Amino acid sequence: MKKVIVVCGPTAAGKSHLGMHLAQHLGVPLLSADSRQVYREFDIGTAKPNREEQGRVEHRLIDVAWPTETFNVARYRELAGGEIDRLARQGKPALLVGGSGLYLRAVAGGLEPPAVPPNPALRAQLAAEPLEALYEQLQKLDPESAERIHPHDRVRIERALEVSLITAKPFSAQRRRGTRDFPYLALGVGSDREALGRRIERRTAEMIASGWLAEVEHLRTKYGPHLPLLGTLGYAELGAHLEGRWDLAEAVRQIVVHTRQFAKRQMTWFRAEPDIFWLDEAAGGRALEQQSVERAERFLAD
């Protein structure tokens, strides 16, 4: 029987660490559910696991697309579904870890994304428009999607507009709940807002110290500054610094502010999910790990 365990929550909540602990305990690979870690070369700014972490735990569903490729929820659902089936045939549960709520819902929640193929002409038209104008258009056409998508997430804004304009229906109205043919357990982390804010500040500083700015400069040189992924959270702010619009300190401050806003949106999404068991973060790191292990073992024993 297929069984799926999900570790979810907002950015910087500690999902990756907890997921790796569970993966090691259960002897299974970690399936990433991050909408930007699927892209090669976008490493530091997406908090992609480093070589040492990938050496300790096998990570799948990262680096499966080039930055210039089109990768959407339907494609993720297909790849993740294949991994879940393979693990089930080996008698193992699947462990999905990430903060992309739409990806998780598409796999574990039975969401059926709209089957609208990319439209190159429309995409080129949207790519030429300022991000602020696109977000305002999305707010008018599809307020629900605009509330869910971060104003700086150009990739998802353009996709929501693309689907809405082609079908003449709001993108949010076309995401149907399908059926799920397996039991799953969802474990949530990151509900302590103050602690999350501190982790966001610390992680941003660590990313800068690890060479994030050099990564952004390299990607802008290789793909050009208008690559949609370079307009996403963190990459856009550092791009503004490289263009001379902000000094580095202001760019970092803006990243922290925007990441906090993004985390708040993520929590709004996850709080609306009825089946998430929120782990008690006040108990501390090791106790949190033990909670997750006990819940997972109880779930798998049923």
Q: What is the 3-state secondary structure (H, E, C) of 25-88?
A: HHCCCEEECCCCCCECCCCHHHCCCCHHHHHHCCEECCCCECCCCCCCHHHHHHHHHHHHHHHH
pLDDT in tens, 181-236: 689 899 999 878 888 999 999 999 999 999 999 999 999 999 999 999 999 999 99
Q: Of the ranges 11-15, 185-189, 281-285, which one carries the lowest mean pLDDT score?
A: 281-285
pLDDT in tens, 170-190: 887 766 555 566 898 999 998
The class that CATH gives domain 4-113+176-204+271-301 is alpha beta
Domains in the chain: boundaries: 4-113+176-204+271-301
Query: Which pLDDT band holds residue 72 (cuts at 50, 70, 90)?
Result: confident
- H helix or E strand, kind and range, residue 185: strand 184-188
